[in-house]
Amino acid sequence: MKIGIVCYPTYGGSGVVATELGRFLALRGHEVHFISSSIPFRLVHEPIDGIVFHEVQTLEYPVLQGDLYGIALASKIVQVVQDFGLDVVHVHYAVPHAISAFMARAVLGRQEHPFKVVTTLHGTDITLVGRAPSFFPIVRYAIDRSDAVTAVSDWLRMETIRAFDVKRPIDVIPNFVDEKKFRRGLKPCKRGVYAPRGEKILLHISNFRPVKRVVDVVEIFARVRRETPAVLLMVGDGPDRDAARNRACQLGVLDGVHFLGKQEAIEFFMSCADLFLFPSEYESFGLAALEAMACEVPVVASRAGGLPEVIDHGRTGFLAPMGHVEEMAALALHVLKDDRLRAEIGRAARASVEQHFLPERIIPQYEDLYARVLRESAPVRADDGNREMSYLYADGI
């Protein structure tokens, strides 16, 4: 198949999932076209046969409000479809990516090669509307008009149905992890650098947005450190970095916290950590938790969003109510003080990854979905471009 993948290229779970999906699809013989504002970061070091990258060049102009990314993306999709005849455009995020794909389809309506639009929801589409209700019609339109919609967890599927009163089916296809890349004991090991006196290594990786509750990470660490020698590695950056740093200072534990900023090769930190802290307000899935599990690292996370679909409390990791830092610290200490338990949970976590979340299990689900939309949907007729436009207008968009 010829598959276009539209994603945000930067650090973050959706970009990682989209890039890894494209990489595995190419390895399985598909022709993959990434369409994005810059080359997705996990592709930078690894040219792969069967993958072409198409850069969306956007424009900011004082008279035209905002940037024109969504429109530039639509134009780029038109070009790529004209030049390569894509079968499917798989967009990660309903807004603006699905809308751009529909615009491209409207433009191409009278031409030879129609394409199907598959939309994967990662969560922010839904929460965006919580914060900015004016986006409601456009997100619902994107969901309704896609040829197929997937959500990365059942929780997200249910949230989407609830928030948008969706009547169409939404397929749940969970995220996955490359278990060859994320595994225990990678060299070089970072343990000697950050824990030279045998301290336990606690790890957090995120974009430090409020939803990640990085201050809670520091609160948990401070409680752990009162009882056992430990260091905390904080990987990533974002708006709440300073709040976390200041709280560490107030609690007198700043000397044990290493703020490492954005890192590409996070597997080297994960593979030698003793515990991963993930006290988010919610996660539609929690890819970082899955990556830690693949590295046999027990995770202490919030019982929120899709996290209970990834972590089986007490068996493959630990869950506590969101914001309950005392309980999370107690769980962390429980597993940090018992080497045997930690190894047992780590092994069970890895086994769960191998059973449920490997690429070889998940990629065929996407392939089946693409085949289904190509089979099921009626062929696009010459007037479909107009029809697409009339839907846009009818919805007041």
The residues of the shown chain that bind ligand GMT, judged by CB under 6 A, are: 12-15, 17, 122-124, 152, 175, 207, 211, 283-287
With 0-12 / 13-18 / 19 or more C-beta atoms within 10 angstroms meaning exposed / middle / buried, residue 180 is exposed
CA–CA gap between residue 46 and residue 49 (Å, rounded) = 10
CB of 21 to ligand GMT, least distance (A): 11
Q: Which one, 171 or 344, has the nearer CB to ligand GMT?
A: 171
Q: Which one, 24 or 285, has the nearer CB to ligand GMT?
A: 285
CB of 307 to ligand GMT, least distance (A): 8
Residue nearest to ligand GMT (CB): 13
CB of 17 to ligand GMT, least distance (A): 5
Pair 284, 122: CB distance under 8 Å:
yes
| Lookup: tokens for 66 | 């905002």
Q: How many C-beta neighbours within 10 Å does residue 26 have?
A: 18
CB of 291 to ligand GMT, least distance (A): 10
Q: Which one, 92 or 145, has the nearer CB to ligand GMT?
A: 92
Please name the residues in contact with 227: beta carbons below 8 A apart, sequence gap of 6 or more: 333, 337
Q: Which one, 108 or 362, has the nearer CB to ligand GMT?
A: 362
Strand runs labelled E in 20-160: 31-36, 51-55, 60-61, 64-67, 88-92, 116-121, 148-151
Q: Which residues pair with 151 in a beta bridge?
A: 121, 172
Pair 232, 256: CB distance under 8 Å:
yes
Q: Which one, 210 or 229, has the nearer CB to ligand GMT?
A: 210
Element counts in the chain: helices (H) and strands (E): 16, 15
CB of 157 to ligand GMT, least distance (A): 13
Pair 302, 281: CB distance under 8 Å:
yes
Pair 179, 358: CB distance under 8 Å:
yes
Q: Which one, 307 or 332, has the nearer CB to ligand GMT?
A: 307
Q: Which one, 123 or 256, has the nearer CB to ligand GMT?
A: 123
CB of 286 to ligand GMT, least distance (A): 5
CB of 124 to ligand GMT, least distance (A): 6
